[in-house]
Amino acid sequence: MRILKILAILALVITLLGAGTLLYTLETRTPKATETFPEIVNATADIARFEGYRNALEEERYAGRVFSSEDLLDAGQYTFLNIRLRLANNCLLPMEWITAEVVPEEGDVLEARDQNPHVLNARSSGDLTLQVLTHQDTLGQGRRIKISYYILGQKYETEIQVTF
């Protein structure tokens, strides 16, 4: 009889620990942007990159996202928004196939980002970078960044605001 009591208590403790672990995992499944490193760079200051994007667009071999089909003429009219996000995965499960993309605003021309799949192991952090070419006069207050990722094959999405 005493053994059955001990087994019942042990089963209850294991069940409570399992439920607590599951609730913690569900609560922490959204990555946190612990730091953002936004930078505004005039396209004339990085003319080589601007020319590379212009040539790639003209030759229709640009691999990133294009928001506007306009011809890039004068680098002085454009600005690069360089964004580096430090994401923290506080979940007990790894986050896989993490991508970050900008939600385009008026004046945005193109987006360049790392196309490689990223993984954040449990309880770790890492950086994602992306770059937006936009018109000089339409910088605004910042950009929304959509982050997509998978946990155990289930897709999740979240948005963060980056202020310049």
CA angle 56, 145, 117 (to 5 degrees): 65
Instruction: Estimate to the nearest angstrom the gap between the alpha carbon of 74 and the chain centroid.
Output: 30
What pLDDT shows up at residue 100? Answer: 93
Length of the chain: 164
What pLDDT shows up at residue 138? Answer: 73
Report helix, strand or coil for 96: strand
Pairing of β 32-42 and β 95-102 = unpaired
Q: For 93, which DSSP code?
A: S
- Taking each continuous run of H as one helix and of E as one strand, the counts in the chain are 2, 9
Pick from 155, 54, 65, 146: nearest CA to 108: 65
Record the tokens describing residue 19, joined without a space. Answer: 């439920």
pTM of the complete model beyond 0.85: no
DSSP 113-146: E--S-EEE-TTEEEEEEEEEEEETT---SEEEEE
Which residues in the chain show pLDDT less than 70? 139-140
Per the CB < 8 A criterion, the answer to whether 25 and 91 are in contact is: yes
Q: How large is the C-alpha radius of gyration of the chain?
A: 22
What pLDDT shows up at residue 70? Answer: 86
- Residue type at position 1: M
Per the CB < 8 A criterion, the answer to whether 53 and 110 are in contact is: yes
Question: Dmax over Cα atoms in the chain, in whole Å?
Answer: 86
